[in-house]
Amino acid sequence: MSTNESQSPTKGNFWSKLELWKKVLVGMILGVIVGVVMGPEAVMLKPIGTLFINAIKMLIVPLVFFSLIVGVTSMEDTRKMGRIGLKAVVLYLSTTAIAISIGLGFAAIFGPGEGLNMIASDTTTVAKEAPPLIQTFLNLIPKNPVGALAAGNILQIIVFALGLGISLTLIGEKAKPAVAMFESLAEAMYKLTELVMKMAPYGVFGLMAWVSGKFGIDILLPLIKVIAVVYLGSLIHVCVFYSGLIAFIGRLNPIQYLKGLANPAAVAFTTTSSSGTLPATIKAAREEMGVSKGVASFVLPLGATINMDGTALYQGVCAMFIAQAFGIDLSMSDFALIVMTSTLASIGTAGVPGAGLIMLSLVLTTVGLPIEGLAIVAGIDRILDMARTTVNVCGDMMVSILIGKSENELDESIYNTEKSDLAAEREIA
């Protein structure tokens, strides 16, 4: 080992020091090259990708369960907190449902997967008959939560986790040991996600080699379209929809909102983690937007856990793209199912890099779309994650401002001050 290191110290260091997203990009590019050169033979590299996909699937159930409980229990049980929590949850979820609809709509209009004519190898995963909507609602409540966990029924797990989280909040003092345990397990799951994501460059390499070997270089054009559709949808969601809510519901100048977003948006874009961006978001909410300490420190951490508009928008685009690519027609109840699954799943999506990709596998399986679709978008996940995390954080900020305003906890003199003047004032102070 030490001999190897001394023989090629730079090589080893270079790869291990490279940031994960760059490694993933390298894996993707190498995968495409190897796949194109090898052609259909590249299927022999598929198991590396399958290993990665299986590892991320392994995370879904515990990640959703623990992080959701922790999200709910982080609301404290005072009246005001209850009211603010309710407003936040309603705003978070309704804007998420709109985000996914924008994603589905844009992908329907621009058709990034149109004409790809892919064939799913595992026909059992294709377009199973979706259950009637009423049945889906009835099935939300698990008769046996352990069974739901074992079967990986995410909607049922979400409902049970919400119930358990609320009950833990209600019993107060007695819940402390359990809450501490769930918090530590949630932390461990975030860590495990990070560890699994370390496999991403290799997994993506295997998947891209197999996919481009099987489908040829033509696959790249629709991927560029997917990126363009996700970025366009994200831009409109923040600049038109969020700004509109700030202007019409908050009666505030949306330009000030957009300007105050600069710092946290830049951190979100580069780290692709809304949890990692949280300190920057809280700082900007208080110092640039004038949101009170109480509202910012309650609403924003909750948002970093449960509010994922960008992720939902991306899932809408990807689900539609995959359906188009595999020539599967989605019915109205499929759309409703996608909106519901993504919205509920967004609660349980951790604000860590790549979590949305894991949740996409859940949306695909729920609607019965081929899981191979995941392989195609996994290669460009980092690029998409940058956009969706930024939207996630901008959404958290928007909700904290609206709630601050409605609770009289927004200092409008700070909100309306030119952001450059605020920076100068801070410097003088």
Show the tokens assigned to 122. 């595992």
Instruction: Answer yes or no: are the C-beta atoms of 31 and 206 closer than 8 Å.
Output: yes
Closer to ligand ASP at the Cβ: 308 or 402? 308
What is the identity of the amino acid at 375?
Answer: A
Closer to ligand ASP at the Cβ: 63 or 291? 63
Residue in 73, 156, 243, 274 binding ligand ASP, rule: CB under 6 A: 274
CA distance 63 to 172: 24
> Closest separation between CB of residue 346 and ligand ASP, Å?
9
Residue in 273, 281, 341, 365 binding ligand ASP, rule: CB under 6 A: 273
Which of positions 313-342 make contact with ligand ASP (CB under 6 A)? none
Please report whether residue 103 would count as binding ligand ASP according to CB under 6 A.
Answer: no
Listed in sequence order, the DSSP H helices in 39-75 are: 46-73
Alpha carbon dihedral 231, 234, 235, 237, in 10-degree steps, equals 160
Closer to ligand ASP at the Cβ: 66 or 415? 66
Q: Which residue bears the tokens 């409605």?
A: 406
Distances (CA, A) of 256 to 93, 304, 403, 414: 24, 22, 17, 10
> Closest separation between CB of residue 337 and ligand ASP, Å?
20
Report the residue closest to ligand ASP, judged by CB. Answer: 356
Closer to ligand ASP at the Cβ: 73 or 272? 272
> Closest separation between CB of residue 302 and ligand ASP, Å?
13
Report the interhelical angle of 381-406 vs 220-236 (nearest 10°): 10
Residue in 311, 342, 343, 400 binding ligand ASP, rule: CB under 6 A: 311
Stretch that binds ligand ASP, among 96-104, 150-158, 233-241, 270-278 (CB under 6 A): 270-278
Please report whether residue 392 would count as binding ligand ASP according to CB under 6 A.
Answer: yes
> Closest separation between CB of residue 188 and ligand ASP, Å?
18
Phi, psi of 351 (to 5 degrees): -80, 55
Cα atoms found within 13 Å of the Cα of residue 204, Cβ hemisphere only: 25
Instruction: Answer yes or no: are the C-beta atoms of 305 and 190 closer than 8 Å.
Output: no
CA distance 291 to 390: 20
- Per-residue x/- marks for ligand ASP, 213-252, CB under 6 A? ----------------------------------------
Residue in 272, 343, 365, 400 binding ligand ASP, rule: CB under 6 A: 272
Burial of 387-397, coded b for 16+ CB within 10 Å and e otherwise, reads bbbbbbbbbbb
365 CB neighbour count, 10 Å cutoff: 19
Q: Tell me how far the alpha carbon of residue 262 is from its chain's centroid.
A: 20
Please report whether residue 365 would count as binding ligand ASP according to CB under 6 A.
Answer: no
- The count of chain residues that interact with ligand ASP, using the rule CB under 6 A, is 16
CA distance 92 to 298: 14
Stretch that binds ligand ASP, among 43-51, 210-218, 278-286, 388-396 (CB under 6 A): 388-396
> Closest separation between CB of residue 190 and ligand ASP, Å?
11
CA distance 21 to 2: 28
- Per-residue x/- marks for ligand ASP, 340-359, CB under 6 A? ---------x-xxxxxx---
Closer to ligand ASP at the Cβ: 304 or 402? 304
CA distance 178 to 74: 13
Closer to ligand ASP at the Cβ: 278 or 330? 278
> Closest separation between CB of residue 279 and ligand ASP, Å?
14
Show the tokens assigned to 201. 């460059």
Residues lying near ligand ASP in the complex (CB under 6 A): 272-274, 308, 311, 349, 351-356, 385, 388-389, 392
